Amino acid sequence: TQLLEQSPQFLSIQEGENLTVYCNSSSVFSSLQWYRQEPGEGPVLLVTVVTGGEVKKLKRLTFQFGDARKDSSLHITAAQPGDTGLYLCAGAYTSNTGKLIFGQGTTLQVKP
Amino acid sequence: NAGVMQNPRHLVRRRGQEARLRCSPMKGHSHVYWYRQLPEEGLKFMVYLQKENIIDESGMPKERFSAEFPKEGPSILRIQQVVRGDSAAYFCASSPIRSGHLSYNEQFFGPGTRLTVL
């Protein structure tokens, strides 16, 4: 069974705090995507990481792909209420096409 | 540049009726994927299609569910004789064809169809 463990499942923090979300698997991924989903909407792609050890930054969000391409992390610096939402990691086993395996998601609440 | 479109956004059916969910991929995308999201759960893969072909249906329930992506028109996910357990959000995603050493699987999602079975 292909599994992607995402943690923590829920996170409630104050505005200005930092946080990290983790995504782990025993399998090697060809690529890994991070999505953000608002209630009642579809997931919106934030970033794709492809190379082991790769680090990508999107404003206050930093994404890292593990050296062995089995894990990834999302770090948010100085969280803001607008960061509130569901964050999903998804791994692909094939390079070009094929299904994504999703983690269970992390529900983030940032209180003003 | 329109994104992935799904309709209807909300669908209510009574037990035993049929549900038809439509998905139009992004322009230039020839790969379509369907996922299901149950309340408080992550997205689960159902089926992957290219034009006129089902490539991977390993996530589809064996009965009552079918999918197609005809040469012309949107992809359709069809659920026959719906039951309450089918109530969920159904998402369609599409991806372009990529090739070469920079290829990777990047999927773009539609807004989803929320199916409620009474």
For A19-73, what is each residue's pLDDT tens digit? 999 999 988 988 899 999 998 999 999 999 999 999 999 999 999 999 999 999 9
Interface check A16 vs B, CB under 8 A:
no
Strand partners, A106: A87
For the cut 90, the answer to whether the pLDDT of residue A98 exceeds it is no
**How confident is the model at residue A52, as a pLDDT?**
93
Interface check A90 vs B, CB under 8 A:
yes
Determine which of B48, B107, B108, B116 to mutate to test the interface with A (most A C-beta atoms within 10 Å).
B107
Q: Tell me, what amino acid is at B44?
A: K
List the single residue in A31, A41, A99 with the smallest CB-CB distance to B104. Answer: A31
> Would the CB atoms of B56 and A50 count as touching at under 8 Å?
no
Candidates B47, B42, B90, B109; CA nearest to A46 is B109
> Would the CB atoms of B105 and A30 count as touching at under 8 Å?
yes
**How confident is the model at residue B23, as a pLDDT?**
97
Interface check A112 vs B, CB under 8 A:
no
Candidates A110, A103, A105, A95; CA nearest to A4 is A103
Interface check A39 vs B, CB under 8 A:
no
Collapse the DSSP code of B105 into the 3-class scheme (helix H, G, I; strand E, B; otherwise coil) and give the result. coil
Partners of B58 on chain A (C-beta within 8 Å) are 99
Q: Give tens-digit pLDDT for B8-58.
A: 999 999 999 999 999 999 988 889 999 999 877 789 999 999 988 999 999
User: What's chain A's length in residues?
Assistant: 112
Dihedral sign, CA of B36, A103, A69, A13?
positive
pLDDT band at A1 (very low <50, low <70, confident <90, very high): low
Q: For A60, phi and psi rounded to 5 degrees?
A: -90, 5
Query: In chain A, whose CA is at the least distance from the CA of B98?
Result: A96
Angstrom distance (rounded) from CA A66 to CA A1: 21
Rounded alpha-carbon distances, angstroms, from residue A16 to A75, A83, A86, B76: 13, 11, 18, 45
Side-by-side strand order, sheet with B5-7: B5-7, B19-24, B75-79, B65-68
Residue B118: CB atoms within 10 Å: 10
Give yes or no for a cis peptide into B61 (omega within 30° of 0). Answer: no
- Interfacial B residues in 56-75 facing A (CB < 8 Å): 56, 58-59
Local structure of residue B25 (DSSP, 8 states): P
Query: In chain A, whose CA is at the least distance from the CA of B91?
Result: A42
